[in-house]
Chains A and B, each alone.
Chain A
Amino acid sequence: MRGQVKMFETVGVLVVFFFLLGIGSLFYFGAQRTSLAREQVVAAEQQAFQIVLKALYLPELDCSFLVTQKDNCIDKLKMEQLAKLMAQNDNAKQDYFAQFGFAKITVGQKYPVSDESELVLYSNVPSEIRTVGGVEREVESFTSRLVTQSPILLYDAIRDEYGFGVIEVSVYV
């Protein structure tokens, strides 16, 4: 009888021990998962921010006068040509992929208010081929989209005027 009680006690201790171990690991792995997800978001935000800075200081688009570069400025004529090149030439888009990765960069003028729609400077949205209803289709494939906007000067070399614009960078992760 005493032996049975001892054994019952030992089993009880083991049950409590494993129960505590289970609860502890549940908490620990939960906390780790949350922390990892948070770090992933922060890393993606930092990457998006870096792409914005790269886009803001692209030497291909800068407003330079007598070898002096104007801060925070894009030359509209250069921008239109680059956008055209990106849309028509896949090799050019491939070259810029190393800089921008999966992202979309658009520029829009806010003052003077213009009817022109936003200009897509670069667009590379991750996609995959999926079979929908027996038909293969290319569908966009990303978990989240981080959008960053920044005001920018738009130089019109023909009129010699500076407009107020916004550059929007969407990074796909």
Chain B
Amino acid sequence: MSKGQMEIFGLVVIVILLAIGLLFAIVILTKTPTRDVARVKESLQAANFLNTMMGTTSQGCGKRAVRELLQDCAVAGVDNGRWIGASACEDGNTCELAQDMIQTMLNQTLGDWNKNYRFFVNGTRAVELIKVESGPCSGEREGSTRPEKVRPGLDIVLTLHICR
């Protein structure tokens, strides 16, 4: 093979490599973020869940909504990991009923849709005991946070994460 032929062959190889690289770049640059709609959907689902859950009427506690159960629970005390001083309902106290209701609602929705989730409340020691989770939740996640007033100067914050 002559020197000229070798040079042409080298040029062709370079052109092929450049063309392949360019095509990959085009494919990557034109990639549409398909997860965007799913992200918005999950975020809205989490916000709707918290909003809906808070307004749901309980069974067996004088038709109190979950919001009222949590407001009552927030001012209860905690001793050895157990609630003390929370108002009594037909089956346990307000904290226990709130936890049961939230667990049922999460199970019947996100659980049925095969999604991992983590729900927790911050604000007082009593509400911080209310935690519901399913499956691992260490990676990417969408969620919603909702503050709720217990009384002037005392707020609790509810958080729901939908995990992937």
Per-residue CB contact flags for chain B residues 30-51 toward chain A (1 = under 8 Å, else 0) read 1110101110110011001101
For the complex, is A101 an interface residue (Cβ under 8 Å from B)?
A: no
A20 touches B19 (CB 8 A): yes
B12 touches A111 (CB 8 A): no
- Chain A interface residue count, Cβ-Cβ cutoff 8 angstroms: 36
CA separation between A142 and B49, bound complex, in Å? 31
Q: A42-B32, A72-B52, A151-B53 are in contact. Are A112 and B59 (CB under 8 A)?
A: yes
Report B49-88 residues with CB < 8 Å from chain A CB: 49, 51-53, 55-57, 59, 63, 65
B34 touches A153 (CB 8 A): no
B48 touches A39 (CB 8 A): no
Pairs across A and B, CB under 8 Å, 8 listed: A16-B12, A42-B34, A110-B105, A148-B41, A149-B113, A151-B48, A153-B55, A166-B109
**Chain A: residues with CB nearer than 8 A to chain B?**
16, 20, 23-24, 27-28, 31, 34-35, 38-39, 41-42, 45-46, 49, 70-73, 110-113, 148-153, 160-164, 166
B59 touches A72 (CB 8 A): no
A24 touches B23 (CB 8 A): yes
How would you classify the secondary structure of chain B's contact residues: helix, strand, loop or mixed? helix
**Chain B: residues with CB nearer than 8 A to chain A?**
12, 15-16, 19-20, 23, 26-27, 30-32, 34, 36-38, 40-41, 44-45, 48-49, 51-53, 55-57, 59, 63, 65, 101, 104-105, 108-109, 113
A149 touches B30 (CB 8 A): no
Other A-B contacts than A110-B105, A153-B56, 5 sampled, CB-CB below 8 A, are A20-B19, A31-B27, A110-B108, A150-B45, A166-B109
CA separation between A27 and B146, bound complex, in Å? 48
- A73 partner residues in chain B, CB cutoff 8 A: 55
A27 touches B53 (CB 8 A): no
The 7 A-B pairs with the shortest beta carbon distances in the complex, nearest first, are A110-B108, A151-B52, A45-B37, A161-B57, A164-B56, A27-B23, A151-B49
- A71 partner residues in chain B, CB cutoff 8 A: 51
B106 to chain A, nearest CB (A): 10
B16 touches A150 (CB 8 A): no
CA separation between A14 and B20, bound complex, in Å? 20
- B34 partner residues in chain A, CB cutoff 8 A: 38, 41-42
B143 to chain A, nearest CB (A): 14
